[in-house]
Amino acid sequence: MRVKYSYLEEQFKNPDYILRDLEKLVKRGDFTLGKEVEIFEKRFAQLASAKFAVGVSSGTAALLLGLQAVGVGHDDEVITAPNTFFASVNAIAAVGAKPVFVDVGEDYNINSELIEDAAQAIGANYRGRHVGNFGDTGGFSFHPLKNLNVWGDAGMIITNNPDISVSLCELRNQGLKDRDTWTRYGHNLRISSLQALVGKHLIKDTSDLTERRIANALNYDKELRDIEEITFPQRMIELREVFHTYVIQAERRDELNKYLNEKGIESKIHYPVPLHLQPATKYLGYKKGDFPQTEMQAERIISLPVHPYLKEREKKKVIETIKEFYR
């Protein structure tokens, strides 16, 4: 038995209802923004309890445009975490700003009030408020391996500020206010209308799939709790986590990872090398030892398969194999 990390085959066994709808879109030729984008944006804003949602070409584009819409550019510094995905920092560099890292806490996060990178966090909330609504804008990714996934790249930005929402709509579409009025320099970072159609359908499954992820994660918490060699991140009760990844810390992490993989369990590491120690950020002058919590976690973290299509016997196998390793 293999316990896979990815679940796409399982999720898209029967995509005919979406394909039929795509066929209609193709026949209408509604390829640039258009009706499907509007519907998806409306449904997403509702899901995330935000006033506005603007569809863009990826989660990275959501971060980049969010920064530009609030005026971040050259001479600005943007604080972020060194344990995030590369895109958070690529977006900062793309608007000409300087990334500044700060260490994370035992919950693996930094505190933030600027632009939220909520790329993996659809359905997550803090004290009942959906993430993405705390900063000026919140960026989400619909990459095939994110919690609400489409058939390629797409993303969404939410905001509750009408002026920012207008800026975002212009920035994603060449800086155009309407077909013939060019108000500012912009980009072509529109969401694909085909992906918006796919998202419009899949968003209906999101809360159910999220519940299943959470149940899988809490089950791991419970079953692995007694293993001394494993440490769990701080779980705040005010926080509803949605477990795009299920990350714990383990002693002899590399050996455990290898053992699990040999036994057919696809565990992964998100991510082995913190961003301040990567070649791309060398010019910023950071060195090993600058962010002790992040660096310690990078050597100990491991991500277990937590996707909503895991079968009972697969979950059992993961738990038993970890227990066996430490026995």
Ligand X SMILES: *Cc1c(COP(=O)(O)O)cnc(C)c1O
Tokens of 46: 């509702």
Closest CB to ligand X among 33 and 150? 150
Distance separating alpha carbons of residues 271 and 268, to the nearest angstrom: 8
Q: How far is the CB of 119 from ligand X (least distance, A)?
A: 3
Distance separating alpha carbons of residues 133 and 110, to the nearest angstrom: 16
Closest CB to ligand X: residue number: 59
Closest CB to ligand X among 84 and 257? 84
Distance separating alpha carbons of residues 197 and 22, to the nearest angstrom: 7
Q: How far is the CB of 92 from ligand X (least distance, A)?
A: 11
Closest CB to ligand X among 153 and 295? 153
Q: How far is the CB of 277 from ligand X (least distance, A)?
A: 18
Spatial CA neighbour of 83 closest among 261, 241, 247, 232: 247
Closest CB to ligand X among 120 and 137? 120
CB neighbours (10 Å) of residue 54?
A: 29
Where do we find the tokens 């795509």? Answer: 22
Distance separating alpha carbons of residues 297 and 106, to the nearest angstrom: 9
Closest CB to ligand X among 88 and 216? 88
Q: How far is the CB of 71 from ligand X (least distance, A)?
A: 21
Q: How far is the CB of 217 from ligand X (least distance, A)?
A: 17
Distance separating alpha carbons of residues 113 and 125, to the nearest angstrom: 15
Tokens of 59: 């989660």
Q: How far is the CB of 121 from ligand X (least distance, A)?
A: 8
Distance separating alpha carbons of residues 306 and 246, to the nearest angstrom: 6
Q: How far is the CB of 319 from ligand X (least distance, A)?
A: 26
> For the chain, how big is the Rg over CA atoms in Å?
21
Closest CB to ligand X among 224 and 291? 291
Q: How far is the CB of 295 from ligand X (least distance, A)?
A: 19
The DSSP call for residue 232 is P
CA 208 to chain centre: 18
164 and 93 in contact (C-beta within 8 Å)? no
Closest CB to ligand X among 138 and 155? 155
Mapped onto helix, strand or coil, the DSSP state of residue 157 is strand
φ and ψ of 169, to 5 deg: -65, -40
Q: Applying CB under 6 A, which residues contact ligand X?
A: 58-60, 84-85, 87-88, 117, 119-120, 141, 143, 153, 155
Closest CB to ligand X among 52 and 142? 142
